[in-house]
């Protein structure tokens, strides 16, 4: 990553885009044109004596730190901190800026989860602004449809929650107005910015061509994709943000913007069956939820992460607890980073967890989610018994944790294997913030697929999500098997997510905040980072750079990044694991997730950041208290 003075960097981009002008310290930046592929460091050098988290050789900061997937959004958050805002204020500015510079991944037409730790109260909670299904949603609304047709039609659009979530968080815990946090995004949209290679590549996506408003912004006049370096100006989005800055969120949920959303969601690629079902009442009555994190302990650390309706936190902690008895990070070469035994155990634990996830996890406001049972040793011991170091298990059936979810123990049972559609949403965005007072935000947000539904609200410049395709396409509720249909669609229900904004604690104190993009691979990316920090004793940047491995189904197809030891891959293939294969040789070349993290050295309270070069990850640190 490049390092340069922020003031010089902003001068080259147009410093007028930002609300403050004071010089910040040097920051790590990817090449401005996005050149150079993301690379793996291979098997990292492990230091068993190093405390998990802080980067070796870095001096850290006594001020705030932001870690974001795009440098312009990072700069927006840093300026808010520099102007005296707290982590919640900075998070709002970052998210609005991301709507401008990463429109394909998140924005006010989508939803997300903002995890907050308030230092003064020693309290951690989540603002859940996940989209909701409209009152007219039904369990069979996607039956027989292809993912592409369904996800690019209006009936895939959930009631957007991002704007209401940010507004709620600012009112409850922020120190700045909604208008102040919108200011950097307004200027970015109005004056434009030079797009990086990641956004340029994503304009090749079919979803940029299906609707005239989307095509007009994210394609050239001749219909070709945008090149890297193209100046992207979004005047309609700037005007939308100005309207919200002036009048608050009411125009979006009750006024002119709401009416435009309702009109455009009627578009369909598949005829009347694909038209949106959202009404004015659905928008006007949308509400956020404040939830308590799901919590687990792993080797003396406490993990707090996103509870249902996301499956992310529960799944990460389930996998960790399944792995805890195994000597990962010690016990010989096979258990070290990239060792054959460690990778095998990870794969098997992922397969078991995804089998259980498919049945039991959904919106807890509508279905009972047996979280206590899923995380109990009573249940996990029965699942762990399937992991054999010398062989690959057959495709596991889901287990039944209900016997362990209440004080009255009943015999264990397993449900029949159920058909589960492949999850397609592969893009979100994640960023992390710590402010000078020690408040943390770990925030994952999305419009679901790249470019969401591909439907842009005419005259207002923002894209709408396709979040409802996260529901089961085929209803799973079955009295005969006891399958609760936890993720079947229904009125006002939030679809199951994989997002996992996470904070890692040691001795009751926050150590690291992190999360990832990547659809269902988010779960395993967050797992990889946690193992790298806790078991392999990597610093935060090493933990992010290290090659990743992911399995997102009970069947066990393995996705993996370059840099894992070839000998380990060969032995996994010999066990029968389903690895990518080129000319008969196991081969890994995926890019999995994008992690942005902030950490604290608990010995001296200095703050650090780590950012992912699988995207244009950027860390900015402030050396002093905000004004």
pLDDT in tens, 584-626: 788 899 999 999 999 999 999 999 999 999 999 999 999 865 3
Residue 3 scores a pLDDT above 80? no
So what's the pLDDT on residue 481?
83
CA dist list (Å): 288 to 166, 349, 357, 547: 10, 33, 24, 36
Confidence of residue 87 (pLDDT cuts 50, 70, 90): very high
590 burial type by CB count under 10 A (0-12 exposed, 13-18 middle, 19+ buried): middle
So what's the pLDDT on residue 532?
98
DSSP assignment string, 484-523: --TT---TTPPPPB----EEEEETTEEEEEEEE-STTHHH
Task: Please name each of the domains of the chain with its CATH number.
Answer: 2-33+76-290+440-476+495-504+594-621 (no CATH), 291-405+505-586 (1.10.246.130)
So what's the pLDDT on residue 20?
31
Closest CA to 487 of 593, 341, 356: 356
Residue 213 scores a pLDDT above 60? yes
Residue 185 scores a pLDDT above 70? yes
How many angstroms separate the CA atoms of 487 and 495, rounded?
6
pLDDT in tens, 520-534: 999 999 999 999 999
Confidence of residue 45 (pLDDT cuts 50, 70, 90): low
Residue 328 scores a pLDDT above 70? yes
Q: Of 181, 203, 214, 428, which is the active-site residue?
A: 428
Residue 35 scores a pLDDT above 70? no
Residue 10 scores a pLDDT above 50? no
Residue 314: cis peptide before it, omega within 30 degrees of 0: no
Q: Which residues sit opposite 502 in a β-bridge?
A: 514
> How large is the average pLDDT for residues 376-387?
98
So what's the pLDDT on residue 253?
98
pLDDT in tens, 123-152: 999 999 999 999 999 999 999 999 999 999
User: What percent of the chain has pLDDT above 90?
Assistant: 83
Closest CA to 115 of 80, 165, 181: 165
Q: 């389930």: which residue's tokens?
A: 318
CA dist list (Å): 477 to 180, 229, 480, 482, 553: 46, 49, 9, 8, 19
Buried b (16+ CB within 10 A) or exposed e, 130-162: bbbbbeebebebbeebebbbbbbbbbbbbbbbb
So what's the pLDDT on residue 421?
52
CA dihedral 318, 321, 326, 330 (to 10 degrees): 110
pLDDT in tens, 273-291: 999 999 999 999 999 999 9
- Is the model more confident about 417 or about 199? 199
Region class of 229: left (phi > 0), else alpha (psi between -120 and 50), else beta? left
> How large is the average pLDDT for residues 89-100?
98
Confidence of residue 332 (pLDDT cuts 50, 70, 90): confident
So what's the pLDDT on residue 325?
97
Q: Which residues sit opposite 510 in a β-bridge?
A: 505
How many angstroms separate the CA atoms of 617 and 627, rounded?
26
> What is the CA 425 to chain-centroid distance, rounded?
11
Q: 């102040």: which residue's tokens?
A: 180
Confidence of residue 58 (pLDDT cuts 50, 70, 90): low
Confidence of residue 84 (pLDDT cuts 50, 70, 90): very high
Q: Token pair for residue 525?
A: 């990316």
Q: What is the pTM of this model?
A: 0.92
How many angstroms separate the CA atoms of 247 and 236, rounded?
16
Spatial contact of 352 and 582, defined as CB atoms under 8 Å apart: no
Q: Please, what sign has the CA dihedral across residues 52, 57, 62, 66?
A: negative
Q: Token pair for residue 495?
A: 């679809």
**Which distant-in-sequence residues (6+ apart) come within 8 Å of 326 by Cβ?**
335, 341, 342, 345
146 is catalytic: no
């Amino acid at each position: 990553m490049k390092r340069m003075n922020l003031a010089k960097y902003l001068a080259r981009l147009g410093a007028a885009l930002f609300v403050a002008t004071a010089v910040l310290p040097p920051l790590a930046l990817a090449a401005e044109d996005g050149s150079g592929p993301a690379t793996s460091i291979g098997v990292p050098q492990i230091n068993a004596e190093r405390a998990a988290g802080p980067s070796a050789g870095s001096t850290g900061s006594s001020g705030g730190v932001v870690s974001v997937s795009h440098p312009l959004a990072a700069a927006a958050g840093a300026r808010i901190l520099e102007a005296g805002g707290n982590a919640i204020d900075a998070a709002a500015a970052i998210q609005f800026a991301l709507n401008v510079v990463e429109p394909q991944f998140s924005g006010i037409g989508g939803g997300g989860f903002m995890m907050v730790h308030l230092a003064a109260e020693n309290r951690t909670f989540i603002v859940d602004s996940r989209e909701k299904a409209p009152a007219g949603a039904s369990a069979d609304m996607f039956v027989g449809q292809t993912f592409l047709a369904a996800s690019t039609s209006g009936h895939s659009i959930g009631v957007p929650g991002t704007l209401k979530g940010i507004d709620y968080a600012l009112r409850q815990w922020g120190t700045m107005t909604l208008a102040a946090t919108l200011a950097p995004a307004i200027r970015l949209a109005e004056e434009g910015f030079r797009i990086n290679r990641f956004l340029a590549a994503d304009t090749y996506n079919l979803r940029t061509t299906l609707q005239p408003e989307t095509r007009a912004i994210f394609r050239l006049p001749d219909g070709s994709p945008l090149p890297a370096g193209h100046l992207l100006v979004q005047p309609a989005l700037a005007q939308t943000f100005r309207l919200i800055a002036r009048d608050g969120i009411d125009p979006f949920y009750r006024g002119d913007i709401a009416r435009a959303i309702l009109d455009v969601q009627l578009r369909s690629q598949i005829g009347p069956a694909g038209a949106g079902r959202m009404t004015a009442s659905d928008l006007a009555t949308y509400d956020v939820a404040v939830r308590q994190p799901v919590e687990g302990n792993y080797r003396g650390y406490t993990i707090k992460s996103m509870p249902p309706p996301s499956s992310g936190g529960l799944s990460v902690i389930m996998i960790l607890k399944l792995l805890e008895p195994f000597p990962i990070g010690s016990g010989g070469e096979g258990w070290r980073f990239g060792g054959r035994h460690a990778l095998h155990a990870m794969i098997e634990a992922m397969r078991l967890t995804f089998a259980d996830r498919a049945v039991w996890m959904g919106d807890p406001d509508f279905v009972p989610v047996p979280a206590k049972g899923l995380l109990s040793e009573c249940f996990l011991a029965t699942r762990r018994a399937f992991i054999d170091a010398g062989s690959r298990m057959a495709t596991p059936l889901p287990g039944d944790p209900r016997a362990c979810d209440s004080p009255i123990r009943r015999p264990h049972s397993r449900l029949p294997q159920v058909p589960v559609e492949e999850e397609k949403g592969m893009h979100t965005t994640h960023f992390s913030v710590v402010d000078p007072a020690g408040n943390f935000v770990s925030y994952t947000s999305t419009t679901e697929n790249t470019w969401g539904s591909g439907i842009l609200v005419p005259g207002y410049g923002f894209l709408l999500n396709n979040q409802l395709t996260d529901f089961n396409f085929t209803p799973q509720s079955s009295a005969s098997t006891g399958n609760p249909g936890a993720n079947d669609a229904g009125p006002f229900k939030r679809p199951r997510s994989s997002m996992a904004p996470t904070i890692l604690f040691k001795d009751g104190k926050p150590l690291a905040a992190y999360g990832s993009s990547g659809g269902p691979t988010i779960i395993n990316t967050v797992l990889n980072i946690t193992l790298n920090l806790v078991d392999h004793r990597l610093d935060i940047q090493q933990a992010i750079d290290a090659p990743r491995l992911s399995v997102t189904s009970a069947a066990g197809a393995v996705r993996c990044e370059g840099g894992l030891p070839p000998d380990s891959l060969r032995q996994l293939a010999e066990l029968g694991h389903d690895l990518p294969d080129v000319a008969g040789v196991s081969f890994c070349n995926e890019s999995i997730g994008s992690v942005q993290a902030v950490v604290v050295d608990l010995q001296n309270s200095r703050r650090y950041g780590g950012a992912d070069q699988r995207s244009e990850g950027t860390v900015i640190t402030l050396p002093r208290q905000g004004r």
